Chain A
Amino acid sequence: GDSVTQMEGPVTLSEEAFLTINCTYTATGYPSLFWYVQYPGEGLQLLLKATKADDKGSNKGFEATYRKETTSFHLEKGSVQVSDSAVYFCALGPNTGNQFYFGTGTSLTVIP
């Protein structure tokens, strides 16, 4: 069945460091891919998405490219800030069924 595998955390970086969080997926067909972010004490909110192969989603300095050949959707940011400290979830949109699939989440802490 469809699934998402996400890099385990926690990840701790210094401010202005480069961030990569790996995400790979298993799915038949052509689902959309998402990154959601969860700030402490809050629900998840959409960070970015890509709806087809080779699409690049971007928002707030974060980017991810839908790579069908490697079934990946890695999240990157060139220079992280303390305010980026949160939990990041990779997700797969409904494909042949009606379910969204989420990874286990990666906790990021950015220290000054």
Chain B
Amino acid sequence: NAGVTQTPKFQVLKTGQSMTLQCAQDMNHEYMSWYRQDPGMGLRLIHYSVGAGITDQGEVPNGYNVSRSTTEDFPLRLLSAAPSQTSVYFCASSRDRGGATTDTQYFGPGTRLTVL
């Protein structure tokens, strides 16, 4: 049971490049989400999904796309990278559809992205 995995661990992009951050979980969790972590800002929600085929925007969705074609995978796409997207990105999952209030979130190890 690997839990939540993220790849790559580190990435450097040039402004305007696109890329996909991968996230997978093997716990059969319905709810998955992407956060970015910036100094002094804590974790901010980018996008989330309450099940396969369903996604919704969080607090800071601009410049990012997501899709959820399977229960296991939830990739995050940067369409045209900007220096403001330099951050650490975390994927998380929890068991219940709709992110039940009692649910624990399980986090991946993070991807550190630098945009030059």
Residues of A within 8 A of B (CB): 6, 30-32, 34, 36, 42-46, 49, 51, 89, 91, 93-95, 98-100, 102-105
Contacts and interface: CB of A to CB of B under 8 A. Distances in A.
Contacts of A100: 33, 45, 99, 105
B61 interface: no
B109 A43 contact: yes
Contacts of A34: 104
A31 B90 CA distance: 23
Interface stretch (B14-22, B35-43, B65-73, B76-84): B35-43
Interface string B85-96: 000001010000
Choose among A34, A51, A99 the residue with the greatest number of B CB atoms under 10 Å from its CB. Answer: A99
B63 interface: no
B40 A104 contact: yes
A98 B104 contact: no
Interface of B: 4, 31, 33, 35, 40-43, 45, 48, 50, 56, 58-59, 90, 92, 98-105, 107-110
B48 A32 contact: no
B42 to A, nearest CB: 4
24 contacts: A32-B102, A32-B103, A42-B110, A43-B90, A43-B92, A43-B108, A45-B107, A46-B105, A51-B101, A51-B102, A89-B43, A91-B105, A93-B100, A94-B100, A95-B101, A98-B50, A98-B56, A98-B99, A99-B58, A100-B33, A100-B105, A102-B43, A103-B42, A104-B42
